[in-house]
């Protein structure tokens, strides 16, 4: 089957993670993505060396792209970029706000010159305003938005253990580009899109923000849920810990009867509703912990499963690497094939293959 974006031309003046995430998805769907690298290369190439001597970030997010090295401070570099843009359907860029215009590629003029062109600009804090010029990286935005304040244990804030801001921003940009392509199919016109990392995370933080503004500011509570109980890790008398999630009052009553063997707690006013259980979290968790302490891990998992209670193992990266549900894909790289988790979407009747990771090329003459 033909890939859905086959024939689409994308120019990506990009580096790091957020923009490459968006364009990697466009490439996966069949778009021809030309990645513009500065003479010293995308600095994400140097983030680590764990993927056969190459950066895990770069290998993951640049499969299926062509790479062109340009010095955009030179007339020749600008000429080559101008030629690429003239044939493009989509331009994605995450240069510092205003940089593209200063190089002679003002997005407003580009849209006038190429009315079908879709331009997606990714920034830290937006294209204008008092923080537009501030540098922004993943952990900086985690801190600035307050995400760190609700991540970790009671003692101190923590970083989310992956580049959540960059990935969320890339996914948001990808979605917006697809919307713009649908709109262009209807109107025949391109558009300009602006996506800021701060705005993306602020949107994702709506629930904790509304809780704060409603007088229930969330606390850091480790592997537990701030507004649902019981939802956390419990330790059997033997074996690994188990994380459970009770999502409704009906499930709570089932847990009390079938697992805890204390049906009276299901209708006890202290625990009968989720709001009550959260208000009495210590007593709620203590009652559940008491039941776990009487069972070994396999028995606890069996009883919970039979009762229809959601549960999970508390795995590490070794657990993921060996997980029976992990789907993998393999891509070619300049230093040999690398295997990593396959993209989540599975399309019926279509076994997707992903293109190779480009080597860094010499400066365009």
Active-site positions? 225
Beta bridge partners of 231: 245
Which ranges constitute the DSSP H helices of the chain? 18-28, 56-61, 75-86, 99-102, 107-113, 138-145, 164-187, 197-204, 206-213, 249-254, 274-279, 281-292, 297-307, 317-321
| Cβ–Cβ < 8 Å for 311, 304 | yes
Sheet strands side by side (includes 242-245):
231-234, 242-245, 310-313
Beta bridge partners of 84: none
**Helix (H), strand (E), coil (C) string for 220-250:** CCCCECCCCCCEEEECCCECCCEEEECCCHH
| Structure tokens given for 88 | 């493009």
Residues contacting residue 175 through CB under 8 Å, at least 6 positions apart = none
């Amino acid at each position: 089957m033909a890939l859905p974006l086959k024939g689409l031309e994308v120019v990506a003046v990009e580096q790091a993670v957020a923009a490459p995430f968006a364009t990697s998805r466009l490439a996966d769907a069949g778009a021809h993505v030309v990645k513009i690298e500065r003479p010293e290369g995308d600095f994400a190439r140097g983030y680590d060396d764990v993927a056969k001597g190459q950066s895990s970030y770069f290998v993951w997010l640049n499969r299926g792209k062509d790479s062109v090295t340009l010095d955009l401070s030179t007339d020749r570099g600008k000429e080559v970029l101008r030629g690429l843009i003239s044939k493009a359907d989509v331009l994605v860029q995450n240069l510092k706000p205003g940089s593209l215009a200063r190089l002679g590629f003002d997005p407003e003029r580009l849209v006038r010159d190429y009315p079908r062109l879709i331009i997606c600009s990714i920034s830290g804090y937006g294209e204008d305003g008092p923080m537009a010029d501030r540098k922004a990286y993943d952990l900086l935005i985690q801190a600035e938005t307050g995400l760190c304040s609700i991540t970790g244990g009671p003692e101190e804030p923590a970083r989310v253990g992956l580049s959540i801001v960059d990935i969320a921003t890339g996914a948001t940009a990808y979605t917006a580009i697809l919307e713009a392509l649908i709109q262009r199919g209807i109107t025949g016109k391109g558009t300009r899109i602006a996506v800021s990392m701060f705005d993306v995370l602020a949107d994702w933080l709506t629930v904790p923000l509304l809780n704060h503004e409603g007088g229930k500011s969330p606390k850091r509570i480790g592997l537990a849920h701030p507004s649902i109980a019981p939802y956390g890790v419990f330790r059997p008398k033997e074996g690994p810990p188990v994380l459970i999630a009770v999502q409704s009052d009906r499930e709570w009553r089932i847990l009390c009867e079938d697992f805890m063997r204390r049906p009276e707690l299901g209708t006890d006013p202290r625990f009968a509703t989720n709001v009550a259980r959260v208000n009495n979290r210590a007593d709620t968790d203590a009652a559940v912990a008491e039941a776990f302490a009487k069972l070994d891990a396999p028995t606890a998992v069996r009883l919970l499963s039979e009762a229809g209670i959601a549960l999970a193992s508390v795995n590490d990266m070794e657990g993921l690497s060996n997980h029976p549900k992990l789907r993998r894909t393999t891509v070619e790289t300049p230093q040999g094939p690398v295997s990593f988790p396959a993209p989540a979407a599975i399309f019926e009747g279509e076994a997707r293959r992903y293109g190779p990771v480009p080597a860094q090329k010499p400066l365009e003459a």
